[in-house]
Structure 1
Amino acid sequence: MTMKMNTAQSGNGSSRYLPGETRAYAHRWFFTAACIYAALIIPLTLLARHGFGPAVLSVPTGHAFEMLFGLAPALIAGYLLGPMPARRLVWFLCFWLLARIAGLIAPFAWPALVFNALFVILFARQLLPRLWAAKKWRNRSLVPLLGLICAITIAVILAGRLDEYLLHRYLIDESVQLFALLMLFIGGRMLAPAAAGEFYRQGMELGARVQPNIEASLIITIAAAYLLAPVAVPFSGMLLILCGVLAGIRLFRWQLWHCLARPDLICLGLGYGWLALGLILLGWAKLDGGSHFSTAVHAITVGALGTLATNVIVRVTLLHVKQYPSRIPQIVIMTGFMSIAAVTRMAADFSNYRETLLIIAASGWSIAFLFALHVLLTSRTAPQVKPTQNPSTNS
């Protein structure tokens, strides 16, 4: 990974390759790692199902853990950590990488537990105090949400190590709601100001921006659905359906049909739409006794997470180097491949051509992340700005 060195170190040729106390951007490092990992993990999962890949990926919970607690934390770290000393960032990335390698080799062994724990502890220690300084409770709600995700990362591995496989699967299945809430929050905070800016450019005004009442309702509703899941599954399902409807209303009020000249906003809106649909389907699956649970989960993890992740990676990267995402045609192509991946993965649950559809879905997913990786790497040649704040705050 390349990084900008300070003036004092610029005279030493060898120091260019030794990360010290210089400032480095977390989104460059973690987004690059996430793109490479995402492009590889799904094809590896398909190979594992036929006996040619890591055995843990052939098990649904193993695949789900790496998607939710392997890939997603790298995306979160890239988006939220911001600039920091390069030496510290190297530790973050090393622990994340070692956790992924250990988990693929022996998912419940001590190395997997230790490296995952070290990563989430460092992550929480670095980020949570900063988020707690926010004035509004809606912003502070990220602290218990991220803290719970970090704790569940360790709990899932411990449950597997203690042979508590029912608890192991339950924790993974229900954690989908937590990641959905995180996407609702971050996606809304990114879409609202961007849409308002486009309205202003057209001489109009967008009245419904962050929509704090709906955002507060989303936070409370998903939190209640998560807490009630062990004791009142049908009620938890109804709350998730309500949450999906609220997310759909919020998306509708952004009036993105006025932003057709901004494909980057339309693509972000599509990811948010997948999230609303996925929550409705997840709630319905709970009401239906778990039927088609996998289909609902993939609407969230492939449709929403995949679309929002690739678009956020490209958007944050380009804004960081003062380029405009609306001028990058790769965004539409990338989002198209991810939409194909989501539709074919969901359709595979109902088709006689399941294996073919799974291959198409895996290919679409990997191609989309390779497009995002291409934008990341080509942006390295653009002039860089001084690291003064988290690039996500400007998005």
Structure 2
Amino acid sequence: MSDTLSRRANDVPVLLAFPFRPFFLLTALYAAGLVAAWVAFLFAGMPLPLGVNPVQWHAHELLFGMVPAAIAGFLLTAMCNWTGASPLRGGGLLALILLWAAGRAAIWLSGWLPLWLVEAIDLAFLPLMAAYVARVLLRHGNRRNLVLVALLALLTGANLLMHLGFSGIWPTGGRLGEILALDLIAVIMVVVGGRITPAFTANWLRMKGRDPAQVRRSEALDRAAFWSTVVMVPADLTMSLPALASVMALFAALINGWRLFAWRGWKASEEPLLWILHFALAWIVVALLLKAMTPWLELSPSVWMHAMGAGAGGTLILGVMTRVAMGHTGRPMQLPRFAIWIYVAVIIAGLVRIIAAFVPQLAYPALIGSAFAWAVAFLLFVLVYWPILSQPRADGRPG
């Protein structure tokens, strides 16, 4: 039986053997290309065939183009570990990839297509992926991770709000959808980061002969971090009460900061594959604090939004992709040569983007510098990891 499964797996092209392989590469390529096109539009006047507001297009494609591809690569891979299920591969995986790509093409060509068609194509990816994940989890009795399915469903709702804004049916829907998407992505990062970061850190300490109990994990604190972040969603729905959203964000920042401190990330400071995860989760705390201060210091919402998106989102996506790509291809769990510059570049991109939001006088050079560093980080991922993701597992196993 195992020989039959192995032969079937070997009949599938390597890039379609496991979801993380194509989706991680697509995430990186799209992240770099999207920001490059945005800067070319802003500063070089490059025309874009868009039927929607370019600013909202930029936000939409980062939140509902790049991020869902990264989620698909991670979630469709991780759930195989959670359940023992076979991965989505071959034709089924290709169909999902093509649906994601069709959504991207529809948005980019929205100036030439009916908006209802653009909406129908773009809105299909997240609920289809959620339905597939839910079916696999329920079939294997894994109800604990159904929370991620619920978050994908809510993220679909945020995408719908953005499309209602695009079409003019609900003019403020676009902005609300953008904020709610960032809130929901923050929740997903809190959940995923809370699952993998302390576990990986404790395992590494054990492997090094150190005390893994230094990483202090608490289910109660995990639940508090989750719910304190979740309540930002209804708080932000009441956009006329910014003080309420501010208080919720401060509470979430304190709880998430406390949890992160308990994991003792500095104990693994010599391992880049670990400290980058702690660094990314620290970005979440910073973004929440900035969100809490926004109405009182009259900050632009762009500050906390880019701290959450470019800072936390970009860093955690690259941190997870660089680690998963090594572990799931049968290679030693260490950062490849030159890959440390991926982390350096994405950290610079996040920090410089915050400077652009904080200091309007520096916006022009800071935006260009941030975009350049962002593109370097993701293109370097493609260059370093293409041989890893496009070739068979180093240990000869299928997948």
- Give how far 1:316 is off: 0.6
Q: Give 2:272's match in structure 1, choosing from 263, 281, 285.
A: 263
Question: Are 1:275 and 2:284 counterparts?
Answer: yes
1:319 touches 1:325 (CA, 8 Å); kept in 2?
yes
1:236 touches 1:286 (CA, 8 Å); kept in 2?
no
The C-alpha deviation readout for 1:128-165, integer Å capped at 9, x for no partner, is 234454354xx432232121112322342134224422
Question: Are 1:238 and 2:247 counterparts?
Answer: yes
**CA separation in 1, counterparts of 2:289 and 2:333?**
30
Question: Are 1:64 and 2:59 counterparts?
Answer: yes
Aligned residue in 2 for 1:88: 92
1:248 touches 1:276 (CA, 8 Å); kept in 2?
yes
Name the amino acid aligned to 2:122. N
2:326 touches 2:334 (CA, 8 Å); kept in 1?
no
- Give how far 1:347 is off: 0.7
Aligned residue in 2 for 1:367: 376
- Give how far 1:53 is off: 4.0
Q: Give 1:175's match in structure 2, choosing from 167, 173, 181.
A: 181
Name the amino acid aligned to 1:216. R
Question: Are 1:222 and 2:229 counterparts?
Answer: yes
1:311 touches 1:331 (CA, 8 Å); kept in 2?
no
Aligned residue in 1 for 2:307: 299
- Structure 1 pair 55/283, CA: closer, same or farther in 2 (3 Å)? farther
- Give how far 1:23 is off: 7.0
**CA separation in 1, counterparts of 2:336 and 2:296?**
42
Question: Are 1:332 and 2:340 counterparts?
Answer: yes
Question: Are 1:97 and 2:96 counterparts?
Answer: no
Q: Give 2:322's match in structure 1, choosing from 314, 319, 330.
A: 314
**CA separation in 2, counterparts of 1:241 and 1:224?**
12
**CA separation in 1, counterparts of 2:9 and 2:260?**
48
Identity %: 22
After the TM superposition, which of the residue ranges 85-94 and 146-155 deviates more from structure 2?
A: 146-155
**CA separation in 1, counterparts of 2:48 and 2:195?**
37
**CA separation in 1, counterparts of 2:282 and 2:100?**
30
Aligned residue in 1 for 2:33: 40
- Structure 1 pair 154/351, CA: closer, same or farther in 2 (3 Å)? closer
Name the amino acid aligned to 1:366. A
The C-alpha deviation readout for 1:238-290, integer Å capped at 9, x for no partner, is 1111111222211111112221221211111111111111111122224556x
- Give how far 1:124 is off: 1.5
- Give how far 1:295 is off: 1.0
- Structure 1 pair 341/58, CA: closer, same or farther in 2 (3 Å)? farther
2:322 touches 2:335 (CA, 8 Å); kept in 1?
no
The secondary structure found in structure 1 opposite 2:211 is coil
Aligned residue in 2 for 1:390: none
Aligned residue in 1 for 2:82: none
The secondary structure found in structure 1 opposite 2:17 is strand
Aligned residue in 2 for 1:386: 398
The secondary structure found in structure 2 opposite 1:202 is coil
- Structure 1 pair 179/286, CA: closer, same or farther in 2 (3 Å)? farther
1:341 touches 1:364 (CA, 8 Å); kept in 2?
yes
Structure 1 runs of 4+ aligned residues shifted over 6 Å read none
1:225 touches 1:239 (CA, 8 Å); kept in 2?
yes
Q: Give 2:194's match in structure 1, choosing from 182, 185, 188.
A: 188
Aligned residue in 1 for 2:263: 254
1:106-255 to 2 correspondences below 5 Å: 106=110, 109-131=115-137, 133-136=141-144, 139-200=145-206, 201-231=208-238, 232-255=241-264
1:49 touches 1:58 (CA, 8 Å); kept in 2?
no
The secondary structure found in structure 2 opposite 1:84 is coil
The secondary structure found in structure 2 opposite 1:141 is helix
The alignment's C-alpha RMSD in Å is: 2.5
2:280 touches 2:313 (CA, 8 Å); kept in 1?
yes
1:48 touches 1:55 (CA, 8 Å); kept in 2?
no
- Give how far 1:352 is off: 1.8
Name the amino acid aligned to 2:290. L
TM-score (norm 1): 0.87
TM-score (norm 2): 0.86
